[in-house]
Amino acid sequence: MRGLLAISRAIDAATRRLGQWVAWLVVVAAVISAGNALIRKLFDTSSNAWLELQWWLFAAVFLFAAPWTLALNEHIRIDILSQRFSQRVRNIIEVIGHVFFLMPMAAVIVWTSWPFFLSSFAQNEQSSNYGGLPQWPAKLLIPLAFSVLFIQAVSELIKRVAIMRGDLSEPEFPGHHPAAGLDAGHIHEPPEDEAGSTR
């Protein structure tokens, strides 16, 4: 299991670096958007290529930050239900979700989007907008991003099984927020050593 956990840590590190890198594309997109708006106001001209580049950048951020979000354990759950279950049941749900839903979904998207990209690349598909960008680079983002998501799902599965086996404690699980499981009323309670003190 140690070897698998080492692989998991390497995957997490790579996913984190990728996510941190693509996060900067938000800034690039904002600069391009502001520059395009400024040029349009000052010179009464614009470019579909710059507009489409903004869409590309947004797509890249959305697609490649998803695995990082998964690694941070920040994806959306139905907390009102999950908090009612024991930790063991939640772990089982996580394993089932990864094995039977997330990983097959990612694999199917990679499998079906790759020919989609190859066809676009072979045709050198261009934008339907005048002066727009080629379409195949944007379509390449889909199989690449979901391949990364699949690999990150493998890492999450390794960690979750390790937790269930007792090889990894829950607080060590990346993205685990102990305070997130507290009731709102408990958050403001003072620690035990201060509970009896008054000011």
Share of the chain above pLDDT 90, in %: 50
Position 141 scores a pLDDT of 96
Q: Report the percent of the chain where pLDDT is more than 70.
A: 83
Instruction: State the pLDDT at residue 41.
Output: 82
SS3 state at 58: helix
Q: Tens digit of pLDDT for each residue in 73-94?
A: 887 766 667 677 787 888 888 8
pTM over 0.85: no
pLDDT digits (tens, 9 = 90+) for 114-173: 999 999 999 999 988 888 899 999 999 999 999 999 999 999 999 988 888 877 777 544
Q: Return the SS3 of 133.
A: coil
Banded pLDDT at 176 (limits 50, 70, 90): very low
Write the DSSP assignment of 34-51 as a string of letters. Answer: HHHHHHHHHHS---HHHH
Most confident of 46-50, 104-108, 175-179, 184-188: 104-108
Contact between 52 and 132 (Cβ < 8 Å): yes
**In the prediction, which pLDDT does 107 show?**
97
Burial class of residue 32 in the structure, from the number of CB atoms within 10 Å of its CB (0-12 exposed, 13-18 middle, 19+ buried):
middle
Q: Answer whether residue 177 shows pLDDT above 60.
A: no
Identify which has the larger pLDDT, 183 or 100.
100
